[in-house]
Structure 1
Amino acid sequence: MTDMPRFDVAIVGGGIAGASLAAALAPHACVVMLEAEAMPGLHATGRSAAFWSETYGGPAIQPLTTASGAALRDGGFLEPLGSLHIGRQEDAAAADAFLAEFADSAVELVPIDPASRIPGLRSEWTIGVMEPSCAYIDVAALHGHYLKSARTGGATIVTDAGIRSAVRRDGVWRIETPAGPFAATVLVNAAGAWADEVAIRCGVRPIGIRPYRRTMVQLRTDPSVPAGLPHVADIAGRFYFKPEAGGRLWLSPHDEIPTDPCDAAPEEIDVAVAIDRFEQAVDWRVAAVERRWAGLRSFALDRLPVYGFAEPGFFWCAGQGGFGIQTAPAAAAMAAALVLGQVPDVAGVDVGRYAPGRLG
């Protein structure tokens, strides 16, 4: 192994999962982060809808999100927004179930008249549940913070270094990339949509991480977006939208279209569906579609993230869905402890529920 740089930990993937873990590990181990693209965070991280919601992802994700809140607020990465979950009369059961899911949690949910917060809301939308803690999240600043912290801690970050193959012998991984070979005792698979593909290239059994496309559009509306508008989400999961700088609106049809790992692009039909659902909720006119984009979300079969060793030396840090950014501080602390052979101590989080062994 004298012909290649040697590390304690090699992290494959430089999105929010890999970057936050590199930052957490760097003060305690010799770390290299191998990013396939020319810059980290090009795919899921760079295309986030950029909000922090304790209910997003359901009760199984909420403990990680809540545990991350203090670090995100203290770091200046969150700004107040609030989220209003709305529904029609046929959605009453979904609203009741939503309230029941979080009844025993610390998440504050307040039933309100949605028309009091959304001017122009169509009359059939009579159900409203306010989630005051929802916030904007500065994704670029957070990702940049983790990359800087990783470098400051001594981590090496290598771009254009997609993994071609890796073989483990005598407790050491020999990793082949276009940027050259690397050796590491532990290989962390934080490759997002490519996680199963990376496992296969390492000779490790994949665990069923599946990527899905999510569509976003930026709208200019008439009337313009009202001051004080919260994030608005259909309680039945058909759309969400939120105000953005310059009086713009970000809108998604909340789609999850199965796809291969790729540089995702929006489909015109999905943009049209988003606008149709939006116009069924409010009487605002869509004056212009100014931008459209798509990102990838990756899930295990049970839709929970995966953190832990599936076999000696191979650590999964994958399947974060759309929740990897909002859970990054707690998830990185938990994963770093596991990589280092320590007992994680993250308040309110049951580490075992995210272990890869649950997936057989």
Structure 2
Amino acid sequence: MMKLLTPTKFGAIDLNNRVVMAPLTRMRAAQGDVPGQLAAQYYAQRASAGLIITEATQISPLGKGYPGTPGIYSEEQIKGWQTVTSEIHAKGGKVVMQLWHVGRISHTSHHPEQGLPVAPSAIAPSGQVFTAQWGQAAYETPRAMTQEDILALIHDYQCAAENALRAGFDGVEVHAANGYLLDQFLQNGTNHRTDEYGGSIENRCRVLMQVLEAVIGVWGSDRVGVRLSPYGSFNDMSDSDPVILFNGVIDRLNPLHLAYLHLIEPRSTMAGGSDQVVQDMPSTATLFSERFEGKVLMAGGYNKDNAEEAVTSGHADAVAFGRLYISNPDLVARFAAGAPLTPYDRATFYGGTEKGYTDYPTL
């Protein structure tokens, strides 16, 4: 039997297998950033995964950076997510919510009342942003966060964690990857601060550690995971020494006894932006997985064979699949049967209705 198909445990969360559904931005939330009945159907179809990690979910209006992404800060959003978790649990699945703040990867149109996007430092990313009207515009220069802003951010994470608990999740994942706000604090390409949140690795880790303290206060550490993307260049990210930085981050995570650490391979550096796999990139699994003292979830361009190799070699305890899960809701059954996989339709990834969302066939 494939090791991928055997059970494991992430902290207090029992997984029936090691095939995890990766967080996938699909941009189909209803009015008010509420996940609708279609989302409940979509996730329930994939409940045979050992664990589902939801699409990134903004913790506040200012945390939003794309049209059609769901939130977890209003009563309507909590109720929408309650329907999702109920449907997954009814099929015996487990699900954690990915808590998200995009920082500078946003546009004022998404949060006109709050104004400019925020970031550790007032540095605009290169490229273009999706506006609230589904158009594209140049990135704005974000407002550098004050100490008061950071205190408010930590409070927003705590409230989001409480709301996720009310919504019936099995845990939460703190998104500190892919060039979003917490990653912007970690990497010195985006963090030019000179206060206690900038400069040294200790200082650049401070916001992440304070966020984790707040979230663990709600959930307990054995139901909290963290996602990191060492060497990832998505969203115009860079650091002068990723190995020293991310070893330092992991060293600070170890004493927390988290449910798991979720690491992304830089070969899939564009985070869903293309099908291109970058060759000759460093291996996150090789460089960082053994430094973490708990369970490691790997993601980024894995297929059945190299995922099995990762869990048998000990470089991963489980593997997250993204695009394969979009088009194969019964991915676990297909792996078990050695069945062919349905190809995905990239044109239907973002926005729309059931086409390319809930209409993929099962065996």
- The TM-score, its normalising length taken from structure 1, stands at 0.31
Task: Name the structure with the higher strand share.
Answer: 1
Please tell me whether Structure 1 or Structure 2 has the larger radius of gyration of its CA atoms: 1
- The TM-score, its normalising length taken from structure 2, stands at 0.31
Task: Name the structure with the higher helix share.
Answer: 2
